[in-house]
Structure 1
Amino acid sequence: MASVQPPAASRELSNPPSDGVSNLRFSNHSDHLLVSSWDKTVRLYDASANVLRGEFMHGGAVLDCCFHDDSSGFSASADNTVRRLVFNHGKEDILGKHEAPVRCVEYSYSAGQVITGSWDKKLKCWDPRGASGQERTLVGTYPQPERIYSLSLVGNRLVVATAGRHVNIYDLRNMSQPEQRRESSLKYQTRCVRCYPNGTGYALSSVEGRVAMEFFDLSEASQAKKYAFKCHRKSEAGRDIVYPVNAIAFHPIYGTFATGGCDGFVNVWDGNNKKRLYQYSKYPTSIAALSFSRDGRLLAVASSYTYEEGDKPHEPDAIFVRSINEIEVKPKPKVYPNPPA
């Protein structure tokens, strides 16, 4: 197969996973990057130095990962386990288990808890300070209407997106029931949900080339601001070819956001002004995951075939780290016409 050159401002990380990338995340404290993969590993990279710092083997495909701090993190595995990873010692232990593959893991700094979502239709909260492998680390179990596909946190708010287009919104300070129960405003299966950095709402993507911009405030004025838009699609021979939108990542400084699709493109959007700011050159294959670094200078891109078109020859899995130019992510000021003389 002919080699596809990565886009110009991207550099490829050495020692990538040997099978599909399920997620990647930058640390909130450094340029360390955590990568989970279907090859049963979690890898820790120093993205700036392009060095693999550590590797953890699991008993099944790893479907998600997140940082606790620069010395430890957590993973969600298809072997039904939630694991704690201690980077400096290269050690891991089982924090707890679900009854089916664990799809999502998040760490809440406000609650001091690990939050996991599984295909067993349960959301669980864990206290990572508990004794290794003891169920007493389990803070609570919260049944969901369907299998959990994506989670996102902002402050004390947790958004849970499940199969069947359900969206549950929780306040972590009172998990007895959801604050709000919603249905996705998109017609097709949810692929990713990510909260706005300013805490006012969330973006939701679907398998059908659309993104919905939603707001938590239920007032008429706030709900009037919500909208959805088409992306990651093209016209060919008079028909629309539509690609799943696998990934959403918000820029930590400007609040603009990037989307990644099965078309191999990464687009950057200004949600407030409803405009696309930038489209990067096409990556070798599907975009499986995206993450901005804590200062917004870097964007990690997982170019990893997601089998939307079945088992076919595809480019090898790769992770690119792109240096971000401000012009690509900074909203453009609105230009108002001069008033008449």
Structure 2
Amino acid sequence: MSGLFGSSSTSQANTLGDLSKDVALTQPPQDSISDLCFSPVSNHLALTSWDNKVRIYEINASGGSEGKALYEHEGPSLSCHWSPDGKNVVSAGADKAARLMDLGSGNTTVATQVAVHDQPIRCVRYFTHESANAPMIVTGSWDKTIKYWDLRASTPVGTIQCQERVYTMDVQKNLLVVGTADRYINIVNLSDPSKIYKTLQSPLKWQTRVVSCFPDATGFAVGSIEGRCAIQYVEEKDSSSNFSFKCHRDPPQNNMTNVYSVNAISYHPIHGTFSTAGSDGTFHFWDGIAKHRLKGYPTTGGTYDWSKGYASNTPQYPNKVMMHPVNGEECKPRPSVKKR
């Protein structure tokens, strides 16, 4: 069921988004941005980058930004996530460590190491286990393991061996989804976190770049390097609703189409719509239920994402983060029109 979001030039014009009110982040990183995450309780943004640093900004109502904290890994920082109460930020990096910044400590430059792997840690997420009285973290590494950590202990409380290097991971409620090399996707029910509930091959044909759980934890989206996104439900009874679609592609020219990696997928916590962001420098809002694009935006340019390897990086690439003020109509599902 691929290509369901294909649209004509007329409908594309009707869904073209406006970037004129976007605001640039003050004092962005000095190298490529690897991850970013907003606080769940306040207007604070955490951001990791290849210059080893983790930066935390406060964002005001008009989009202005001010740096509030900065600490370093001993290698590129690759992933970050906020605690549910917004008091801590945890990050992971190529130095094989995860580090935690306590924003209430008064020290804005030092983070505590809270996890370690044998190889770089590609991703980290907070989660709350039903038997624990405090949030925990889960880390996914290129050493082919995911590990669970009680932040009050120095050793992992659990480890799961994966088939390959962990490339991406997401958590929602009791659903943990892990994407690895060779297109494996592991699903873990966090009510029973010591084992893999289900393993499948990605429905997409090329390398997995990102997974993102549905807000209701019944499934997840997958993005790959081939300019495609797939919507996948966990349970077999819902499999008839699985589908994939093309995105982040240039219009065909001379029987050739440039396709771009889908680097990020983010779900709206209320509306259930989602956004994708890609190597083409564009982002789009989608309605996965109605199977159409809500808004698509022109390329923003900016940070190199390494999708073409080190040889394509140049000093001329800017490093920037743009903040887009979202109005309700951009990301709300459109009312259905029923034919009589």
Query: What TM-score do you get using the length of structure 2 for normalisation?
Result: 0.88
Can you list the C-alpha shifts for 1:62-121, whole angstroms capped at 9, x where unaligned? 010111133211110101011111223223111121000000000003452100000000
TM-superposition CA deviations, 1:212-242 (whole Å, max 9, x none): 00001212xx101100000001123331111
Match of 1:124 in 2: 147
Does the 8 Å contact 2:174/2:217 carry over to 1?
Answer: no
Q: Which residue of 2 aligns with 1:141?
A: 159
* 2:34 is aligned with 1:22: yes
| Structure 1 residue identity aligned to 2:114 | L
- Per the alignment, residue 13 of structure 2 pairs with none
Partners of 1:176 and 1:115 in 2: how far apart? 12
- Structure 1 counterpart of 2:319, which letter? D
Q: Secondary structure at the match of 2:257?
A: strand
Alignment of 1:77-88 (within 5 A): 77-87=93-103, 88=106
- The structure richer in strand per residue is 1
Q: Following TM superposition, where does structure 1 have runs of at least 4 consecutive aligned residues deviating by more than 4 angstroms?
A: none
Separation in structure 2 between the aligned mates of residue 21 and residue 266 of structure 1, nearest angstrom: 16
The residue number in structure 2 matching 1:103 is 122
2:147 partner amino acid = K
Partner AA of 1:180 in structure 2 = K
Structure 2: runs of 5+ lacking an equivalent: 1-17
**Are the aligned partners of 1:124 and 1:141 in contact in 2 as well (CA < 8 Å)?**
yes
SS in 1 for 2:236: coil
Moved more, 61-70 or 313-322: 313-322
Q: Which amino acid aligns with 1:176?
A: S
Distance, in Å, in 2 between the alignment partners of 1:272 and 1:330 is: 12
| 1:51 maps onto 2:51 in alignment | no
Q: Paired residue for 1:225, among 235, 241, 252?
A: 241
Q: Which residue pairs with 1:292 in the alignment?
A: none
Give deviations 1:291-322, integer Å, cap 9, x for gaps.
xxxxxxxxxxxxx2112234343431111111
2:213 to 171, 195, 219: 195
Partner of 1:34: 46
Report the AA paired with residue 11 of structure 1. V
Identity of aligned residues (%): 37
Which residue in the other structure is 1:295 paired with?
Answer: none
Map of 1:288 onto structure 2: none
* Pair 1:106–1:317, CA change in 2 (3 A): same
Any idea what the Cα deviations from partners look like across 1:308-340, whole Å, max 9, x if unmatched? 2343434311111111011210111110123xx
Q: 2:11 is matched with which residue?
A: none
What SS does the corresponding residue of 1:94 show, helix, strand or coil?
Answer: strand
Tell me the residue number matched to 1:89: 107
Query: Do the aligned residues in 2 keep the contact of 1:7 with 1:282 (CA within 8 Å)?
Result: no
Paired with 2:331 and 2:68, the residues of 1 have a C-alpha distance of: 29
1:67 and 1:50 mapped to 2: Cα distance?
Answer: 18
1:60 CA displacement: 0.6
Aligned with 2:257 (options 226, 240, 243) = 240
Over the aligned positions, Cα root-mean-square deviation in angstroms equals 1.4
Matched residue, 2:224:
206
SS of the residue aligned with 2:321? strand
- Structure 1 residues 173-220: Cα deviation after superposition (integer angstroms, max 9, x where no partner): 21232111111000000000000112211000000000000001212x
Provide the residue aligned with 2:10 in structure 1.
none
SS of residue in 1 equivalent to 2:330:
helix
Q: What's the CA shift for 1:58?
A: 1.4
| Residues 47 and 321, structure 1, Cα contact 8 Å, conserved in 2 | no
Alignment partners' CA distance in 2, 1:46 and 1:275: 34
Distance (whole Å) between structure 2 residues aligned to residue 143 and residue 118 of structure 1: 10
In structure 1, the residue matched to 2:306 is 307
- 1:296 corresponds to: none
SS for the counterpart of 1:168 is strand
Look up the equivalent residue of 2:339 and give its one-letter code: P
Structure 1 distance, partners of 2:317, 2:97, is: 30
Contact 2:268 2:274 in 1 (8 A): yes
Write the letter of the residue equivalent to 2:333.
P
Contact 2:159-2:194 at 8 Å conserved across structures: no
Report if the CA contact (8 A) 2:33-2:319 is conserved: yes
1:13-67: CA deviations, max 9, x gaps?
A: 1010000111000111111110011100000011224111110111110010111
